[in-house]
């Protein structure tokens, strides 16, 4: 099930609010790994829900801002002996100024520096590999459109 909402007729000119919700209940059926089975277990790497909230503001003078908050529900990863469960909230910001064909902006990805796992694999050679998501990243940008 996926649902997206946009708030029409926002009380402030230039402000746009939106939200999105995705709920997923994916489970394995007759899945045998040789040493154990995942029958009836949650699908690996598939979050049980995602919730996104976004606010965007555009001022007539060219200033703009955008804030995104994303909640990713439980994500299951399996190895030979355990189940890793992960839930995280990510926040991204962007503030800028549009002038003629120029866009000057500052941004922050994963503003709260949330630590999260974005991959997990168990192998007989390595024992296990876990990939972590991006840490906080702050920067500035300049672009020109023609």
- Give pLDDT tens digits for 120-139: 666 666 666 777 777 889 99
Listed residue (109, 95, 101) closest to 56, CA to CA: 95
- Give pLDDT tens digits for 2-53: 555 665 556 788 898 888 888 888 888 888 777 777 788 888 778 888 899 9
* pTM recorded for the entire structure: 0.74
Cβ neighbourhood burial of 76 (10 Å; 0-12, 13-18, 19+): buried
Q: Which residue ranges make up each domain of the chain?
A: 2-144
Residue 59, classed as helix, strand or coil, is: coil
């Amino acid at each position: 099930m996926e649902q997206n909402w946009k708030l029409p007729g926002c009380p402030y000119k230039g402000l746009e609010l939106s939200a999105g919700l995705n709920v997923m209940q994916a489970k394995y059926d007759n899945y045998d790994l040789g040493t154990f089975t995942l029958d009836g277990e949650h699908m690996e790497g598939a979050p049980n829900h995602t919730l996104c909230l976004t606010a965007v503001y555009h001022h007539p003078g060219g200033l703009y801002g955008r804030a995104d908050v994303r909640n990713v529900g439980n994500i299951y990863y399996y190895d030979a002996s355990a189940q890793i469960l992960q839930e995280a909230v990510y926040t991204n910001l962007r503030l800028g100024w549009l002038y003629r064909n120029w866009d000057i902006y500052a941004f922050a990805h994963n503003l709260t520096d949330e630590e999260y796992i974005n991959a997990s694999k168990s192998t007989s050679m390595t024992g296990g590999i876990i990939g972590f998501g991006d840490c906080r990243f702050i920067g500035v940008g300049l672009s020109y459109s023609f």
